[in-house]
Amino acid sequence: MAKIIGGLTSSHIPAVGNAIHNNLQDDPYWKPFFDGYPPIREWLGDHKPDVAINIYNDHGLGFFLDKMPTFAIGAAHEYKNEDEGWGIPQLPPFPGDPKLSWHIIESMVEQEFDITSCQELAVDHGFVVPMQLFWPGAPHNPDMPRCIPISANTVQHPIPTLKRAYDFGKALRRALLSYPDDIKIVVMGTGGMSHQLDGERAGFINKEFDQMCMEKIVTAPEELTKISRRELVEKAGAQGTEFLMWMMMRGALGDKVNPVSSNYHIPISNTGAGTMMLECAA
């Protein structure tokens, strides 16, 4: 049977993609951010997951406002990284696992999460930047897992509640654990942490709130589900709502997790950048 071995979180800022492309990992501005990744890569090298479920939010590449799914699940053989309009170098396609995708889709709908299935889905920086950070050279890293993108809407309100996001993760856990193949799975929650790009409040970052979230997501994720969407915008910034993806990831890990690694740095671009590796309790 399939096993969920851990969860990974990472911010997914476009500028990080450029920094990787330009080899700026040791640059004084970037180093405190990139230093959060080697311990996690070491863990991944030891455990070699077969599949990575990458929970992210599309930023207007895979979806437009004409049809905006609240929760969308990839069901493709591969996922293409396409031009997003601002010149980040594009990567070759990422390998999918459509058989597992359809298992997840069947199970989620059975559990009354009425998702959108996507047999084609262009993936943007929200998906590919964390892949590059955890598996350098992605998708050509020799340990590159097969991947399944899950996108949640944070582009247009109403966005899902934190409780719904966490419950989605719990249902995803049941879906994955019922898969008959002996595979090891990691679940990624990408995006966040606090940032706001738009309005007179642009540049808002909230260190205290981010650090509280990083603590509670380990020990007491249920408490975070009490945060309303308005409060999340107020405390984390208009785009800090991407923390929803972390909650979806956390729900999939089960009650008890062991934090293996954690890093937080301000600022990367306009964002409080958080990175974590949570191992599922045996």
Is 201 near other proteins (CB under 8 A)?
A: yes
The residues that bridge with 257 in the sheet, in sequence order, are 280
Chain mean position to CA 113: 19
Is 269 near other proteins (CB under 8 A)?
A: yes
Interatomic CA distance for residues 111 and 270, integer angstroms: 38
CB of 82 to other proteins, least distance (A): 7
Please report, for residues 20, 39, 134, 148, 204, the alpha-carbon distance to residue 225 in angstroms, rounded to integers and kept in the order given.
Answer: 34, 29, 28, 25, 22
Residue 16 has phi, psi (to 5 degrees) of -65, -40
Burial label, 115 (beta-carbon count in 10 A; 0-12, 13-18, 19+): middle
Interatomic CA distance for residues 90 and 167, integer angstroms: 34
Closest CA to 257 of 282, 222, 229, 228: 282
Which is closer to other proteins, CB of 10 or CB of 239? Answer: 239
Sign of CA dihedral 141, 144, 148, 152: negative
Which is closer to other proteins, CB of 167 or CB of 242? Answer: 242
CB of 204 to other proteins, least distance (A): 8
Is 41 near other proteins (CB under 8 A)?
A: no
Is 96 near other proteins (CB under 8 A)?
A: no
Which is closer to other proteins, CB of 144 or CB of 155? Answer: 155
Q: Which stretch binds other proteins (CB under 8 A): 39-47, 53-61, 70-78, 218-226?
A: 53-61
CB of 258 to other proteins, least distance (A): 27
Q: 277, 6 in Cβ contact below 8 A?
A: yes
Q: What is the dihedral of CA 162, 73, 17, 32, to 10 degrees?
A: 40
Which is closer to other proteins, CB of 26 or CB of 200? Answer: 200
CB of 19 to other proteins, least distance (A): 13
Is 120 near other proteins (CB under 8 A)?
A: no
Tell which one of 35, 50, 78, 84 touches other proteins (CB under 8 A). Answer: 84
**List of residues 6+ apart from 41 with CB closer than 8 A:** 134, 135, 136
Is 265 near other proteins (CB under 8 A)?
A: yes
Which is closer to other proteins, CB of 4 or CB of 61? Answer: 61
- Interface with other proteins (CB under 8 A), residue total 42
User: How many other CB atoms are there within 10 angstroms of residue 50's CB atom?
Assistant: 17
Give the residue numbers annotated as catalytic, written as ranges. Answer: 125, 195
Sign of CA dihedral 116, 122, 126, 128: positive
Which is closer to other proteins, CB of 34 or CB of 135? Answer: 34
Binding mask 148-187 for other proteins (x = CB under 8 A): -------xxxx-----------------------------
Is 226 near other proteins (CB under 8 A)?
A: no
Where does this chain bind other proteins (CB under 8 A)? Answer: 15, 59-61, 64-66, 82-87, 155-158, 196-207, 228-230, 233-234, 238-239, 265-267, 269-270, 272
